[in-house]
Amino acid sequence: MPEVLQLDGRHIVLGLSGGIACYKAAELARELVKAGASVQVVMTEAAAAFVTPVTMQALSGRAVYTSQWDARQSDNMPHIHLTRDADALIVAPASADFIAKLAHGLADDLLSLLCLARPAERCPLLVAPAMNREMWAHPATQRNVERLRDDGALVLGPAAGDQACGEIGDGRMLEADELRDEVIAALQPKLLAGRRVLVTAGPTFEAIDPVRGITNLSSGKMGFAVARAAQEAGADVTLVCGPVHLPTPRHVRRIDVASAQQMHDTVLPLAAVQHVFVATAAVADWRPASYAQRKIKKDGSHSAPALELAENPDILAAVARLPQRPYCVGFAAETNDLAANARAKLQRKNVPLIVGNIGPSTFGRDDNTLLLVDARGERQLPAADKLTLARQLVREISQRLEALA
């Protein structure tokens, strides 16, 4: 499947103020272009001391603007025109000095003029701080950052870690791929703003003894994509996941569990205060009835030990029975008769929506095909990458919530 250009058709203005983190801005320009965006770079005089406009032009494919007196615009007003067709303006790095300018409405260079003159209602301002840890912690900087947030800017980071000065602490600019994803998220419609969403993901592991257990091939990728898409849509997202090795989506609260019982005991207290519950996890239906404290070893008899099974709690059905239940979405990973099995699960669990897929065809893959099954009928979401499908599912959920309201 071809790579998805998540910023296809978007125009991003990338502003650089002075700081050693300008080297990351070069990679950010490259990442934005790879994601399909057109990128216009604007640099302060200080930024040009760290990375050249020639470098940024080569990576963005566009001539770089550095001066408010640039005469390439017919009316000599680049501070007006450069953001009029922009979908977002991101300043990365944003130095302490530049943040102070923005907080106080100062505009003595092209980049600060752009930030002030941009059409704020349709061109969001994203700011990625980068500075020494003491500068970041200074009360003046913290006041300025809060003022930026109050004025509607989205402050990205900073991160903690090694700094160019040799010190360690808060103040590092986020990495290029993190900033790219923040830009993508900022441009997603906020369909679930103000909503709380609980997602389960991955397999469960039902221990037989200290080294063996019953599990399945679920990678957790679909559930993690749903969590990311819900967060992008403005929701407060909690992700409860079984044993998987996936990075946590940014701004998502993650709780790791192992067994179905642990997932059940974690989900139930949380579910009552959620607006939406998406049960993506491939929860084991059965677990060993007893747990061996030591590894079960061969005894030379050539006969396998008897393994008695007990039924696991049904997490989705339990949430659906809550007096103040959230909007429940179940997943059905089937091997055959997808529509019929998904519809049977819809009725058995008493939920409004089941999302079906053929498990062996999608476990571990980055793409999927989904079948939406509800009381009215069935609708297929064609093959796509899992994040694209997750965003489509979030859109579907938001429409259904609106209809219920």
Residues assigned a catalytic role: 165
Q: Strand locations in 257-388, DSSP E?
A: 276-279, 286-288, 309-311, 327-334, 353-358, 367-374, 377-385
Query: What is the per-residue burial (b if ≥16 Cβ within 10 Å, else e) of 253-270?
Result: ebeebbbbbbbbebbeeb
Q: What are the start-end ranges of the H helices in 194-314?
A: 221-232, 260-271
Give the residue from 292, 288, 270 showing the smallest Cα distance to 279.
270
Q: State the first-to-last Cα distance of the chain, in angstroms, to the nearest integer.
A: 38
Rg (CA), the chain: 25
d(C-alpha 74, C-alpha 86), whole Å: 19
Q: What is the largest CA-CA distance in the chain?
A: 92
Helix (H, G, I), strand (E, B) or coil at 217: coil
